[in-house]
Chains A and B, each alone.
Chain A
């Protein structure tokens, strides 16, 4: 017998660190763990009534194959850095263009690279200079020499 969640959140899901903001209608599923054992879980359906009104500053605007894509949600990580995540999909090819927020620089890291926000290794990053093709995005946003955001895009590509 194991205590398992009824839905999807589990030990591999992100740890909640602070308020979440939603930009799309979503189901939120959470589990509470004590000493590694699930003691409770929660499921809610959240209907975002103004999903076009999100203020994304200082994050970039994303265009996928020329069409703007809205983010799905944002939250704050353990280091107090705002994170935006979004998932996009395209057929056969995805060209991702980022329009940087005013006065910001976008540093791209490897898609699955863990970024230590207490000591970011910018030497392992490349500065965004133009559209990216068929790749997830794992980026740090810098404004006035300060890290102001972590930007994550997951890309799904359909193939015939």
Chain B
């Protein structure tokens, strides 16, 4: 299968007679035919989007079962996938009812590490219980760092549990929830699969594009002129370079929700300090030609570090070597420069 994909890439490339690199990746058009998901359903777009991205899956009988309740464990897994959290490099949060062999252990531990979920005061997480809409509002708001503006009011008359009011206000303000009726939120009702994907889909789409010119970074806050942006824990590695000076004047293109960064599209650095280059190299597939590392231009692309080198002349006898300081798996592809 791998070969087939590569063959298609190459065939398209050569057939097009393009001189240079491909302009962009065009994603395959995916159409899902769940027997129980129709274009008229309010969750149709959300289901297709999340299934295509393999964040949630349908069933083998070609159904999605949108009205089936979501368990707390399943919700944790979906959110950890959406946020692209590392589910393996985690610490045991110590929930009495979530062993390391539990299929949701990695996702739950990753969300605890991010400070998004905490479980119950009795030390349990109750992964097999259906998740309530109140709880979902809380973890969505925390996962996406969405906060309500001071004056935001909802039309819901059933917000009796004060613990969740601000989270529901936040979701209402950003149009992530519209309630179960015009005047009810039904906080203790269980969340159905269709509702779950809609919550997540709308939360992601609540993020808007922003270009941020960094004045300085103070802890987990980016200061850009008179504006401030919160950096969630999962993205702090990208801003954790030793030389904060490296970020002064750097331009960040990001998706933001309110005053919080949701994802990084790109960061273009100015001149980096050597220590920072070494720190970034630890994240990269490092290139060596005849045992020498060329100098490249560092940046952040799509929530990870990147390096791009200019044109380098090599001999066909030169071995091109790649390695990772962290022992990461390296995948690679070559595209040939065709002179048309």
Residues of A within 8 A of B (CB): 1-16, 19-51, 53-55, 72-73, 87, 89, 111-112, 136, 152, 154, 156, 158
Check A136–B7 contact: CB distance below 8 A. Answer: yes
Check B331–A33 contact: CB distance below 8 A. Answer: yes
Instruction: Report Cα–Cα, A6/B167, bound state, in Å.
Output: 34
Chain A, residue nearest B207 (CB): A1
12 interchain pairs (CB within 8 A)?
A: A1-B204, A1-B262, A12-B2, A22-B334, A23-B316, A27-B337, A38-B302, A39-B326, A40-B324, A46-B313, A87-B10, A156-B10
Instruction: Report Cα–Cα, A43/B299, bound state, in Å.
Output: 12
Q: Knowing A1-B303, A35-B89 touch, does A15 contact B326 (C-beta < 8 A)?
A: no
Residues of B within 8 A of A (CB): 1-7, 9-11, 14-15, 21-22, 25, 53, 82-84, 86-89, 204, 255, 262-263, 280, 283-287, 294, 296, 301-322, 324, 326, 328-337
Q: Which of A2, A7, A24, A73 contacts B25 (CB 8 A)?
A: A7
Q: Which of A5, A9, A35, A45 contacts B310 (CB 8 A)?
A: A45
Q: Knowing A46-B312, A46-B314 touch, does A25 contact B86 (C-beta < 8 A)?
A: no
Q: Which residues of B contact A46 (CB under 8 A)?
A: 311-314, 320
Chain B, residue nearest A71 (CB): B316
Smallest CB separation, B65 vs chain A (Å): 24
Check B335–A1 contact: CB distance below 8 A. Answer: no
Q: How many inter-chain residue pairs (CB < 8 Å) link A and B?
A: 231
Q: Which residues of B contact A152 (CB under 8 A)?
A: 3
Q: Which residues of A contact B263 (CB under 8 A)?
A: 1
Q: Which residues of A contact B328 (CB under 8 A)?
A: 32-34, 39-40
Q: Knowing A22-B320, A34-B86, A49-B315 touch, does A8 contact B330 (C-beta < 8 A)?
A: no
Q: Which of B21, B313, B321 contacts A47 (CB 8 A)?
A: B313
Check B308–A43 contact: CB distance below 8 A. Answer: yes
Smallest CB separation, B26 vs chain A (Å): 11
Q: Which residues of A contact B11 (CB under 8 A)?
A: 89, 154, 156
Check B314–A42 contact: CB distance below 8 A. Answer: no
Check B14–A27 contact: CB distance below 8 A. Answer: no
Check A42–B306 contact: CB distance below 8 A. Answer: yes
Check A72–B337 contact: CB distance below 8 A. Answer: no
Instruction: Report Cα–Cα, A14/B313, bound state, in Å.
Output: 24
Check A30–B306 contact: CB distance below 8 A. Answer: no
Interface SS majority for chain B: mixed
Check B331–A14 contact: CB distance below 8 A. Answer: yes
Q: Which of B1, B15, B287 contacts A44 (CB 8 A)?
A: B287
Instruction: Report Cα–Cα, A3/B238, bound state, in Å.
Output: 13
Check A32–B336 contact: CB distance below 8 A. Answer: no
Chain A, residue nearest B87 (CB): A35
Q: Knowing A8-B9, A20-B320, A87-B10 touch, does A44 contact B326 (C-beta < 8 A)?
A: no
Instruction: Report Cα–Cα, A42/B255, bound state, in Å.
Output: 23
Chain A, residue nearest B27 (CB): A4
Smallest CB separation, B7 vs chain A (Å): 5
Q: Which of B10, B285, B302 contacts A32 (CB 8 A)?
A: B285
Given contacts A27-B334, A35-B88, 7 further A-B contacts (CB under 8 A): A3-B84, A6-B306, A8-B25, A44-B296, A45-B312, A47-B313, A47-B314
Check B319–A20 contact: CB distance below 8 A. Answer: yes
Check B314–A30 contact: CB distance below 8 A. Answer: no
Check A158–B15 contact: CB distance below 8 A. Answer: yes
Check B314–A40 contact: CB distance below 8 A. Answer: no
Q: Which residues of A contact B6 (CB under 8 A)?
A: 13-14, 154
Q: Which residues of A contact B10 (CB under 8 A)?
A: 87, 154, 156
Closest 6 CB pairs of A and B: A19-B319, A40-B284, A30-B285, A32-B328, A40-B283, A30-B332
Instruction: Report Cα–Cα, A6/B317, bound state, in Å.
Output: 29
Chain B, residue nearest A19 (CB): B319
Smallest CB separation, A32 vs chain B (Å): 4
Chain A, residue nearest B310 (CB): A45
Q: Knowing A32-B283, A45-B310, A53-B317 touch, does A25 contact B337 (C-beta < 8 A)?
A: yes
Instruction: Report Cα–Cα, A74/B1, bound state, in Å.
Output: 20
Instruction: Report Cα–Cα, A41/B84, bound state, in Å.
Output: 17
Check B320–A10 contact: CB distance below 8 A. Answer: no
Instruction: Report Cα–Cα, A7/B302, bound state, in Å.
Output: 11
Chain A, residue nearest B286 (CB): A42
Instruction: Report Cα–Cα, A45/B296, bound state, in Å.
Output: 11
Check A28–B320 contact: CB distance below 8 A. Answer: yes
Smallest CB separation, B110 vs chain A (Å): 10
Chain B, residue nearest A35 (CB): B88
Q: Which residues of B contact A23 (CB under 8 A)?
A: 316
Check B334–A28 contact: CB distance below 8 A. Answer: yes
